[in-house]
Amino acid sequence: TVIEAQPRILMRGVPAEIAKIIHEAHEAEGVKILCGDGISAIADDGAGVRIALAGGKDIVADLAVIGIGAVPVTGLAAEAGLTIDNGIAVDAELRTSDPDIFAAGDCCSFPLAVYGG
């Protein structure tokens, strides 16, 4: 079982069309994917891991692997007046809204030609 608090998996990483393909492929292999529900508590009682979802459902598992994802740190860029759009917005050359400032890596969002820009 995969628990995703966002409305869909891979929300920040890929377009919805690709996430849908990945979601369906995993479900076809028997993975249950729960989207749009957060975790309110996790407890290991010695017999298993009990996961209480915010929506009221409980899940019991032998093992829990927890990944909290990545959120770009954009505070300094925002304070500098740079455009923020799911990260520091850059163009195809990694130039921010200030032509003298560039950003690269997980902190930025950039257009990809393969996805239509």
CA distances in angstroms from 109 to 57, 68, 94, 102, listed in the order given: 35, 19, 9, 12
Looking at the structure, tell me whether residues 57 and 77 fall in a common domain: no
CA distance 63 to 79: 42
Model confidence pLDDT, tens digit, residues 91-105: 989 999 999 999 998
Looking at the structure, tell me whether residues 79 and 54 fall in a common domain: no
Segments forming the whole domain that contains residue 83: 72-110
Model confidence pLDDT, tens digit, residues 68-86: 767 788 999 999 999 999 8
Looking at the structure, tell me whether residues 48 and 77 fall in a common domain: no
Burial 49-74, CB ≥16 within 10 A → b, else e = bebebeeeeebeeeeeeeeeeeebeb
**Residue 22 belongs to domain with CATH number:** 3.50.50.60
* Prediction pTM value: 0.62
Residue 115, in any domain of the structure: no
Number of domains in the chain: 2
Specify the higher pLDDT residue, 66 or 80: 80
pLDDT band at 117 (very low <50, low <70, confident <90, very high): confident
Model confidence pLDDT, tens digit, residues 16-31: 999 999 999 999 999 9
For residue 26, what pLDDT is reported? Answer: 97
